[in-house]
Amino acid sequence: MSFRKILPALLLATAFSAPAADDVDVTRLTQRLAAVETDPQFNTFAAYERLQAHQAITALAEASNRNRGPALYLAERRVQIAEISTRSQAAQREVDRLDRERSELLIEASRRDAELARAENERLRLQAQMQAEEAERLRVQAEADAAAMADVETALKGVAGAQSARLNAAREREAALARQEAELMTGGKLPASKRDSRGEVFTLAKDSFAAGKAGLSSGATTTVNTLAAYVQASQTGTVKVEAQAGDAKLAQRRAEAVRDAMVAAGVARSRIQVAGRSGKSDRVEAIVTSK
């Protein structure tokens, strides 16, 4: 029989043969140790530490008055070590058990994931096969309808071209009327403009700002008021004011000055965006976009 199996029996025998109960310290320490050894959760752990505690208690019981102090200290420490060791080892065993359960759960989860992956791969394969068959059917159908569709597309292009031309002409007439209305209302003139991918771009005259200044000249103020009236008359979407100057901060202030003048003329501030950047030449543009 192994020492590990014999030792708990020896410890219990030692506990029952403890010194007389009239020694309060011996009784107290013996009871503490017995509480560990009679608890089925702990009595299989820290056998060596518990044996040392029994020996220390026995030594305390047999100690003379002169040696009682060190013997009591040693017995206290040995019992405490036995208590801590049993609980630590019990906790470690529980940790080990939980680790094993976790590993088993991970393995089971991996197995299930693999089964799900195989089922998903099969589903995707069947889906891809059905999609390929449907695509082939549609291709054949498309080829059968190609000749008829060509005639229809030709007719539609003609109609769309005519409609686009009429729409552009209507927009030009609307813009021209809005320009006339704005200029009549303010007594000013709109700056030169052009259309590009951004929208209708108005470029303010170079003398709209004094050199190094961000304030609008009187003539530029009238021009901006006319531009604001045009934006309102044409019911456009948004306005983006882009300014360029040798100093980016100056350019930003100029763009903001144009915006503030347009807001004062009645354009909603939320419809106006501003941007300033540095560049070799001074330029301020107001880009008007349609809704």
* Three-state SS at 205: coil
Q: What is the pLDDT, as a whole number, of residue 99?
A: 92
Instruction: Name which residue leads in pLDDT, 290 or 73.
Output: 73
* Phi, psi angles (nearest 5°) of residue 63: -75, 145
CB 275 within 8 A of CB 240: yes
Tell me the pLDDT band of 5, cut-offs 50, 70 and 90: very low
Tell me the pLDDT band of 106, cut-offs 50, 70 and 90: very high
Helix H or strand E segment including 272: strand 272-278
pLDDT (tens digit, 9 = 90+) per residue, 12-51? 444 444 444 459 999 999 999 988 888 888 888 888 999 9
Instruction: Name which residue leads in pLDDT, 219 or 149.
Output: 219
pLDDT (tens digit, 9 = 90+) per residue, 130-164? 898 898 998 988 787 787 777 757 666 776 777 87
Going by CATH, does the domain composed of 177-288 fall within 3.30.1330.60?
yes
Q: Cα angle at 194 between 205 and 206, to 5 degrees?
A: 10
Instruction: Name which residue leads in pLDDT, 170 or 98.
Output: 98
Tell whether pTM > 0.85: no
* Three-state SS at 124: helix
Averaged pLDDT for residues 216-236: 86
- How is the chain split into domains, by residue range? 1-154, 177-288
pLDDT tops 90 at residue 54: yes
pLDDT (tens digit, 9 = 90+) per residue, 237-267? 789 999 888 888 888 998 899 999 999 988 9
Token pair, residue 273, equals: 């965006």
Q: What is the pLDDT, as a whole number, of residue 16?
A: 44
pLDDT tops 60 at residue 10: no
Averaged pLDDT for residues 104-133: 90
> How far apart, in whole angstroms, are the C-alpha atoms of residue 245 and residue 282?
4
Q: What is the largest CA-CA distance in the chain?
A: 123
Residues 6+ apart with CB under 8 A from 262: 224, 227, 228, 231, 239, 241, 272
Buried b (16+ CB within 10 A) or exposed e, 56-94: bbbbbbebeeeeeeebbebbbebbebbbebbeebbeeee
Q: What is the pLDDT, as a whole number, of residue 144?
A: 78
Averaged pLDDT for residues 161-190: 78
Tell me the pLDDT band of 82, cut-offs 50, 70 and 90: confident
Averaged pLDDT for residues 50-68: 92
